[in-house]
Structure formats: C-alpha cells, structure tokens
Amino acid sequence: MCKCGKAHSQKPGSCQLNCIRHLCDLKISMKIGTKFIHAGVEPDPYTGAIMTPIYQTSTYVQEAPAKHKGYEYARSQNPTRTALEAAFAAIENAKHGLAFSSGVAATDAVIKLLQPGDEVIAGSDMYGGTYRMFTRIYSKFNIRFHYVNMQDANNIKEYINSNTKLIWTETPTNPLMNITDIAAVAAIAKQNKIMLCVDNTFASPYLQNPLDLGADLVMHSVTKYVGGHSDVIQGCLMMNDDQLREQLYFIQKSTGAVPGPMDCFLVLRGIKTLHVRMQRHCENGKKIAHHLRDHDKVARVYWCGFEDHPNYQIAKKQMRDFGGMMSFTLKNDSVAEAKRVLSSTKLFALAESLGGVESLINHPATMTHASIPQEERIKNGLTDSLIRLSVGIEDVDDLIEDLNQAIG
C-alpha cells in the first residue's frame, strides 16, 4: 500500500498514483537485506524526505464532510503507521500488517476474534504474559484454553473439537527454546478449519516466516528483535487474508491499542538493520551456546542450534539460522547459585525483555514467567534455577569473559 492509501499497479511503470518508486513491484524480487531496508517505505510525497516523517497529529482537516485524503482520526489511521504496517507486511511476506501498542495488545486483538464457548489450543511453554492473558483475562469470558506440548504436532489432535477456533504457538519457545513444526501444525489446522497464529518474536522475520509455512497469522512483540534497540514497546500482526485483516483492523480501531507515530518511526528505523543485527546475534549466540556447553560448571544449555536438540532438524528446515536466545542451568542447581550468577554479570544487564543490541540476562521464574504458577512451570521444565540469555551484538569475547567471571 502506498502513502496515497491505494495499491500500486503491479505492472512496473504503469502505476498512475504519482509515487516516486514502485516498491510493490520490487517486493517480489527483493532479497532479504534489500527488503528490510526498503520495505514499505516511500519517499515522503510532499517533500521527497527519504525517511518517513513522524506525523505527530491526532486528527486531519477535511475539505468537506467525509471528503479527505484517506486520514480522518489518528486512532484509525496515521501516515507513519501506514508506512510501518506496509513494512511489517513486507518483512513477513504478508499481504497486510497491523501495528499495536504492545505485543500483548496484538495477542489481545487475536483473542477478540473469538466468541464465548470457543476453544484455543496453545503451547504449554510460552511467554508468561500470554499465559496470564489467556488464563486470567479470557478464561472468565468463557473461552477455554488447552495447553499442549507442541514439540510433536500430533499432540494437538486429541484436543480438537467443533469449538476449537484457534491454535496458538510460539517457536522457538520462551524460555526453553522448544521448536514447533509450523508446517505440520498448519496442515492439521487447515484440515480442521482452525486458525493458526504463530508468535514469531524469538525468531524474528529474518530467521523464520510462518505464513510461508501455512500459518494464518503471525504475531511479534516488536519490542524485541524487530525494534531491536530496547527503546520501544510495540506489537504487530501480519496476515494474507483480506477478511481477517478487516476484522483485526476493526478490533484495532474499536478498542484502540495503537502505537504513537514516534514509536512507529523508531521501529521503521529498527527494521532497516534487522538482517545485519540478526546475523551478529546468530554468530554470537552460536559461540556462547557452545562455550556454555563446554563450561565445567554448566549443566544444560537450551539452544535450538545444537544438533542433539530434540527438534534440530525441524529448526534447520524452517529457520535460516538459530538466533541469540538461550537458557541454561548450573551443575550446582540451586536457586541461590543461579541468583548469584544473575547478579554478577557486568555486560549482561539483569533485565526483562530481549532482542536488543545489548545483552541481557534474566531469571524467568521470578521475572518474565512469574505469572505462571510454580507447579505449572516445573511440570513444563521451567525450573526455579533456569537462567535465560538474550545475546546481544557486542564483541563476543567480552561477553564470554563476562559470563566466565560471573559463573566463576
């Protein structure tokens, strides 16, 4: 979609919309690095500014009632957001993108597609905030959630019934780095006419494109790799189906969880370096995962790039590389020792979140996943002593030295 609010002609050179470039045509052939830099962005039609301006406005002047330039009120449309939504679509090979004020707001919009009595099959290992929304907000509206280990796609079959309307999966999962076979789950979903939504936050659109594998919807916490600089909270949804886009756009404007134009600008800028950042996240992640695995005080490392990871072959098939997220446990498997390590790193900052250029260390049991009851967490393998790393793009030797001095 162009800034003028209309679709380009798909025939090179034939577009009558007075746009400076015809990126819709280019989208078909652009390689990933080119696409991330140019995706969705047109020079500003008024000035030619190469960077999309921050349209810091709440409303738009109309020439006569209902006679306007496609923008009425900024909850419904904003030109900075329009450019970002086109970029979101392009980076996930989708027809449509929608931007939300946070990742959970994007998830919330998906659940609002459902009716009381509907059922959802969700992964048993996922971001604690998603679990909290499902169990504490939507269960009381009579939506039923089944939490299933999706490492084997067939596990979902026994939970499917005529009320099942949505399958929700995260892959790789937060924080145990389990892998779901997206194509296999998509095939089961299609057979049973169930919508499949993939939370692609951990992989980022650089590593994995779920719509290409048969998913109906992709969700990102843009706060993480897509934004990439730990300076924005945002979420997004990408989809191909026009009707689904209209339903979600209606929810977006009716319930109002839209991002501001400044945040949209920051994410547009972040996307331009996503491929370069991800390449370094992957390189550093690989070195650190192997270093930790060889460390005599480390018991287990959870990273989907190890050849003996239970779903390594699936990860290899559906991802371009394995990313910079991992978790580990210590041989001295006590919560006190884990907390000592968590408080001892100097470069790895102890903080929630992930996917930024700087490395973070996190204690899922008390931080990102504290909202999951302990019994439920431990049943799914998330122990109280698990440590999660978001490996940044610093010099990897410095990161290894920092982990060594912290582990001792």
Residues designated as active site: 75, 127, 199, 224
Q: Is 191 exposed, middle or buried (0-12, 13-18, 19+ CB in 10 A)?
A: exposed
User: Sign of the C-alpha dihedral, residues 278, 270, 347, 202?
Assistant: negative
Q: Are 381 and 125 in contact (CB under 8 A)?
A: yes
CB 107, min distance to ligand PLP, A: 7
Establish if 175 lies at the interface with ligand PLP (CB under 6 A). Answer: no
Establish if 203 lies at the interface with ligand PLP (CB under 6 A). Answer: no
Establish if 170 lies at the interface with ligand PLP (CB under 6 A). Answer: yes
- With CB under 6 A as the rule, give the number of residues binding ligand PLP: 16
Q: How far apart are CA 388 and CA 7, in angstroms?
A: 43
Q: Which of 80, 82, 102, 311 binds ligand PLP (CB under 6 A)?
A: 102
User: Sign of the C-alpha dihedral, residues 181, 271, 265, 16?
Assistant: negative
Q: Which of 40, 79, 97, 103 binds ligand PLP (CB under 6 A)?
A: 103
Of 130 and 209, which CB lies nearer to ligand PLP in the complex structure? 130
Of 360 and 396, which CB lies nearer to ligand PLP in the complex structure? 360
Q: How far apart are CA 365 and CA 374, in angstroms?
A: 8
Angle at 42 between CA 38 and CA 46, to 5 degrees: 155
CB 100, min distance to ligand PLP, A: 9
Q: Tell me, residue by residue from 227 to 246, as one string, x for binding to ligand PLP by CB under 6 A and - for no binding.
A: ------x-x-----------
Establish if 174 lies at the interface with ligand PLP (CB under 6 A). Answer: yes
Q: Which of 209, 221, 385, 390 binds ligand PLP (CB under 6 A)?
A: 221
CB 119, min distance to ligand PLP, A: 21
Q: Which stretch binds ligand PLP (CB under 6 A): 91-99, 102-110, 146-154, 382-390?
A: 102-110
In the chain, the N- to C-terminal Cα span, in Å, equals 54
Q: Tell me, residue by residue from 111 to 150, as one string, x for binding to ligand PLP by CB under 6 A and - for no binding.
A: ----------------x-xx--------------------
Residues making contact with ligand PLP (CB under 6 A): 102-104, 127, 129-130, 170, 174, 199, 201-202, 221, 223, 233, 235, 368
